[in-house]
Amino acid sequence: MPLERLRQVPSKQWSLRCFSTSVTFTSVDRSSFPVRSFKDLKPNAKCKLRVPLLKSPSHLGHYTSRMNRRYNEDKYSACVLDINGRTIFNFNIFDGHGGDQCSKYLSYNLGSVVEESSLLCDANDDTVRHRLIKDYAKNIGGYWRRWYKQRQQNFEKMVNVSPQVRKLSSLGDVSDDLPLRLPLSFLQTDYDFFNQEDNKSGSTCTSLYMETLHSESEGEFQPVFESYYFNRGTINKLTVAHVGDTKAILVDKNGDAHPLTLPHHPSNPTESSRLRRYSANYFMTDSFGEERFISLANTRAFGDLNFKEVGVTAEPEVSQLIFGDHKTISKKLTAQEIKDHTIVGLGGDESFLVLCTDGITNEVTDQEVADIIMTNFNMRGQAATPQVCAEEVVKFVEYIGGDDNATCLVIRLSGWGNWPVIDRTGHLRQERLNAYSPRDRGSGQTSIEEHESESERDKDASNPSSSDSSDSDSESEDEESQSGSDDGDEEETESSTDEDSHPAKRTTQDDPMEVDNGANNDNHGEEKGDDILDKAYIKKHASIFQKFKAVQHKDKITEYTERSDEEEIPQKMDLAPLPQPELPRDETLRSTKAHLKTLDWLAEPVYALPELTAPFTEFSFSHTLMNNISAMGFTKAFSVQISVFKMLLDDIKRNRLCPDFRGDILVNASTGSGKTLAYCAPIIEALQTRIVARVRAVILVPTKPLIQQVTQTLIELGKGTPLNIVSLSSDMSIKDEGIKISKNIPDIIVSTPGRLVDHLLNESVTFEALRFLVIDEADRLLNQSFQNWSEILIKAIEDHKKPSRNVGNCWELQTQKLVFSATLTTDAGKLSQLKFVKPRLIVVNSKEQLVNEMFSVPSTLSESKILFASSDSAYKPLLLAKLMIQAEKLSNVLIFSRSNDSTLRLANVLEALFKRLIPSVNVNVAYMNSTNNLSSVRNRVFRDFSSGQINILVATDLIARGLDLLSITDVINYDLPVSSREYVHRVGRTARANQKGEALTLVFGKGENQWFNSIMEDVGRNNPVEELYPKAIDLYLDEHEKSQFEDTLTKLSR
């Protein structure tokens, strides 16, 4: 039977969709209409089930440990993707290096990029993918310039992974575009990280994508899970995408481990030839005449900006194979297809898959990993879930001395538990344990020899009767079953024995993916029960399991120790006062007092009315600075500026006579209220009389657009002063930028935290004379680590401000921290990172109340939402176009959408709809997202938008922070924001500088309405959100308009 027959869709099939690592299964009838997208599906409300994949220990096990490292840079994720109407299970493991920023970013974003990258892998239009590679060539250069010249051949290689999978992965077959989708999605994610995160961290990655091609369960009322990869009667396709040195291992029905990936090292012949072809000038010849790669560990990785130019790439190595039920595969596939599409023609009944980082594979072999998992199952039965097995693998590596972060994922397949009872590497693992002395032996941990002697003593003292042996076995299993996972997954029930003294069948409680395999499990227990309980087998490996118990016990040690039940006999003493120990200090009370003391300034902020204004002439600015402010077109100061000017200018004036520190300043004010000018003007005023150039002010912002905006403001304010203003960015190397700084010492530096930390570590920037530290958009900076920037920054400041006996140091001014945000956190834990001194809080809000998260929108903003029925979501772009036409909002409109693909699609659809609905009016629609977020493109788009050449701009949340365009009159949330914080930053693009503005949110169905209402509870506002309904504003669609809309979509898809 041809392999394509496996893709035939039955009349009743199950589809699923991922919502925040949960899966929704719905029954769908596809027999009556062609499925174009998920919106076309008609769910049956009777068959819904939510499954959190990472909390299904009987099917997916995951465990991680930082070992001896200070931080754990390993990450992992699991989700279910809906790609072109296909259900695909996705499992990922990431091994970060140089920080966890890259691995964390991938765990959050990679799956969604793969799911939404239809335009990248469009068979008929290669515009988007060519633009992506062109951006690499332009902004990174080197390797990518040479890659770009041969892009067509390289794209073809992505499709034709190997001759054997040509049937499965033809570019023209939309049912399987993964061989092209995955490389392009990986590159897109890598480029997004390069644009959005300014740091030098990197990460390797291995991703698995499992799709069911055929299921024997086609009945309408069959249980939902019987049609997916972990059940019998299914044929499944496994696609592996691999970058770097993480590893995927498949264990077959015989218990043999098969590596699915090879590490991408310079020693790999494929990598060596690739780099030699594209990475010129990156080789050296040693004294033996052999070529060597310079300082490359992994030749493929995400991030690693410093090595991108010379060939380190996120292009994955993609491979595909078939796995599943042996009988079903034999019936449906020919012998040649089985040989071509499975590992060495195994033909099915695979046991499980393992994903692990090099912290594991550097210490143990692939077969050892497999045997640890199988041995645990053989000894403990169904209680040894994949979750327990993953934990045992990591703890074994930890016990034998592993020192790198170790992470393991165990994925159960249909052959789980049916392998032979054999341990191929048991002797090798025993030798490893004997050769390594535990780190904590001196702290009371029992040595290996003691374990063995105890085992022998237990053997001699035991009663060989069957009843005693069964009792001891049961007790051993009970003790083992009590160890849970560190991730808080569901625990196993304690074991018990039946009348025949055999272990009763164990079940996992509350496991949403638990599947009862019926007779298969029962037969397995009958066939292997005697082997599992075999005394000789237990004796052979007794010491190994004793050591595993010791490791688990060591991890669970608490401050409480066991006490003997016997009453202790007091020692007799003379009748004299006994020396009393010093009273212990109550750490809880001390921490509570410190916490309350920290919150004193939060409880008593300085409030300012948002509508307050005052002329700049009221403030004591110098003549030069006043002229510059007037030249910029400013005549009146806004509320936040008035509050900061009064406080900060008074501090500057007093410090001229007395160096006493006045205190740090924190400001919570809505977006668009003038925060940038509020701190820029006083800094220029304080520093303009300096004599020697030294770094006296540092301004930290989260993004490159904000760097440009703040730098431009400072340059305009600093005209006519000797101040040197420098912005740091990744446009040049750290070395070249350091040389530039040393030749032209700046007075004010504007940078992102990661870039500034790099210069501090290279000692190209010093804080000896630092007077002002400004943190703008503080909420975002404090929520991200950026190589622990706050710790390094504060330490650099403190090192240069240490007290000295030099009398001149008594007049040195302490660094004053100025923190600004529209959503300033009041989490004392986060704020404590900056070590504030005498902090003062300014809140620009008419309501004198403080909540855990202070979100506020401009007082001149009018907010509204339109409630649509969920069935109207299929015509969402058409409704938006009609609404804008009807409300006459066809210029100066900013629309927010959730992803890169949706911004591009929406911009094209809106422009086409406007041409059909109002052909006499020329409406230009543009988009802005991470794919075109280059300085030249961004500046041109913003300039055209401000001048009116672009009427409507569709964008992602990428530009929701720091975009300062006074021309924006309306903001429309086409897709709902993910949080209150993002909503505030979105709508804050309008109603800036006390101008009026409107914000409109489209809400479809009860679920979206509940979510919108929940995120609105934390937002402070002067006016309530107005609720609108389509009927009330005469917004409805007739059949002719729906037909036009469908015709427009059809033309755009060609």
State the maximum Cα–Cα separation within the chain, in Å, rounded to a whole number: 109
Residue 360's domain is classified under what CATH number?
A: 3.60.40.10
| Rounded Cα gap, residues 870 and 868, in angstroms | 6
Instruction: Give the DSSP letter string of 199-252.
Output: S--EEEEEEEEEEEEEES---TTS-GGGGSTTSTTEEEEEEEEEESS-EEEEE-
| Termini Cα distance of the chain | 33
Q: Assign residue 748 the CATH number of its domain.
A: 3.40.50.300
Residue 35 lies in a domain: no
Please tell me whether residues 760 and 851 are part of one structural domain. yes
3-state secondary structure of 406: strand
Q: Does the residue 304 lie in any domain?
A: yes
**Could you tell me if 933 and 796 lie in one domain?**
no
Please give the Cα distance from 798 to 814 (Å, whole number): 10
Does residue 720 sit in the same domain as residue 765? yes
What is the number of alpha carbons within 13 Å of residue 755 lying toward its C-beta? 28
| Host H or E run for residue 50 | strand 44-52
Give the amino acid at 646: K
Segments forming the whole domain that contains residue 732: 595-802+810-855
Q: Which residues of the chain have pLDDT under 70?
A: 1-52, 123-124, 156-176, 198, 217-227, 276-296, 332-348, 436-603, 784-787, 801-811, 825-830, 846-854, 959-963, 1054
In a domain? residue 945: yes
Nearest CA among 308, 74, 359 for reference residue 193: 308
Does 475 map to a domain? no
Q: How far apart are CA 159 and CA 939, in angstroms?
A: 36
Name the domain boundary from 412, 438, 473. 412
Same domain? 719 vs 764: yes
C-alpha 497/C-alpha 506 separation (Å) is 10
Could you say which of 396, 412, 428 is where a domain stops? 412
- Residue 123: predicted pLDDT: 66
Q: Are 61 and 354 in contact (CB under 8 A)?
A: no
| CA trace torsion 827, 831, 836, 838 (10° rounding) | -20
Q: Output the pLDDT for position 198.
A: 66
Q: What is the DSSP string of 568-586?
A: PPPPP--SSPPPPPPPPP-
668 touches 840 (CB < 8 A): no
- Residue 756: C-alpha distances to residues 29, 738, 743, 748, 788 (Å): 57, 11, 17, 12, 12
**Same-domain status, 814 and 959:** no
Classify residue 480: in a domain, yes or no.
Answer: no
Could you tell me how far CA 443 lies from the centroid of its own chain? 38
Distance CA 933, CA 131 (A): 12
According to DSSP, residue 678 is labeled H
Report pLDDT for 16.
Answer: 34
Nearest to 675 by CA among 703, 702, 646, 639: 639
Regarding whether 879 and 767 lie in a shared domain, the answer is no
- Is 753 inside any structural domain? yes
What tokens appear for 529 in the block?
Answer: 């029960």
CB 743 within 8 A of CB 669: no
Alpha-carbon gap, residue 1046 to 1054, rounded angstroms: 13
Indicate the residue among 357, 385, 412 that finishes a domain.
Answer: 412
- 923 and 1017 both lie in a single domain: yes
Number of domains in the chain: 3
Torsion of CA 844, 846, 849, 850, to 10 degrees: -20
Q: What is the DSSP letter of 973?
A: E
For residues 770 and 909, membership in a common domain is answered with no
Sign of CA dihedral 907, 908, 911, 917: negative
**pTM greater than the 0.75 cutoff:** no
